[in-house]
Amino acid sequence: MPHQLDALRALTTVVADTGDFDAMQAWQPTDATTNPTLILKAVQQERYRPLLDQVLRDHHTASLSEQLDHLLVAFGREILAIVPGRVSTEVDARLSFDSQTSIERARHIIALYEAAGITRDRVLIKLASTWEGIQAARVLETEGIHCNLTLLFSLPQAIACAQAGVTLISPFVGRIYDWHKKAAGATWDEAAHAGANDPGVQSVTRIYHYFKAYNLGTQIMGASFRNIGQIRALAGCDLLTISPALMAELAASTDPLPARLGADQAKTQAPEWQASNEVAFRTQLNQDAMATEKLAEGIRLFTADALQLDALLGAGRATGP
């Protein structure tokens, strides 16, 4: 009897949500995603400190922003030596409301990968799902630079991404769950909001049904999981990015894991088509308190981690190559 992680692989592309190379080798995901938080956590460990030191030695005269890109690409290159598929590398969250500079940084990151012999089809550029991030992705996709739109919490964000021709979106299951649980306070009933009734699962399911009903080509990758019940409830989604700890939980169970999402089912219950433009996007996002708050919070948190990475690089610069 296969364990649930292997059963999931038969339904969904499994992606590692970690910067830990050892965990990737152990669980053998197809792709891997990184973000400033994961890179910061990794680079503070002795195991990964040589990557930071190498960047400082090789690029000691570069600006902090350039050194940060070199560090992200250094991790990405190591990851691509482990996984057979793609790695997601994030543009600085401080540029989430600056389309043009995001485009320039994405081009720079891709150029660094290509200089190292890695083709752009193995890299996804991560951008926040702000209107500006989505418009940056629209331009990048026309250049063959594939994008992963992150910090996504609502259907209007997802539709705008699809209409921009984005390769992949990462709706955040766990952070949606967190918001609703906090908002409910003492009245929250965990059992009543488990599995398919989880608000984060319901959000991804709505996006999945909409995309499949209208044959939208953008891939959906559920992200930010808090428990394996959320993962099980999304079996059949295009991709799921999962932490090593939750992969271990799935591998410990041999219970059956049926598909919960399927394109055929979505097409029999097609939701109403929604037009998307800047006014509609901003209005609908503003009307969704959860999505508005979690998007802003996510940008702030990733910015704080980018600042900490700057501090680590700055400390290394001060001591010299």
Dump pLDDT digits (tens) for 20-29: 999 999 999 9
Q: How far apart are CA 136 and CA 231, in angstroms?
A: 30
Residue 46 pLDDT greater than 60, yes or no? yes
Average pLDDT over the chain reads 95
The Cα diameter of the chain in Å comes to: 63
pLDDT tens per residue across span 221-268? 999 999 999 999 999 999 999 999 999 999 999 999 999 999 988 888
For residue 316, the model assigns a pLDDT of 75
Nearest of 71, 49, 72 to residue 60 by alpha carbon:
71
pLDDT tens per residue across span 134-175? 999 999 999 999 999 999 999 999 999 999 999 999 999 999
Residue 320 pLDDT greater than 90, yes or no? no
- Please check whether the domain covering 4-319 is classified as CATH 3.20.20.70: yes
Catalytic residues: 126
Residue 278 pLDDT greater than 70, yes or no? yes
* DSSP code at position 71: H
12 within 8 A of 30, measured Cβ to Cβ: no
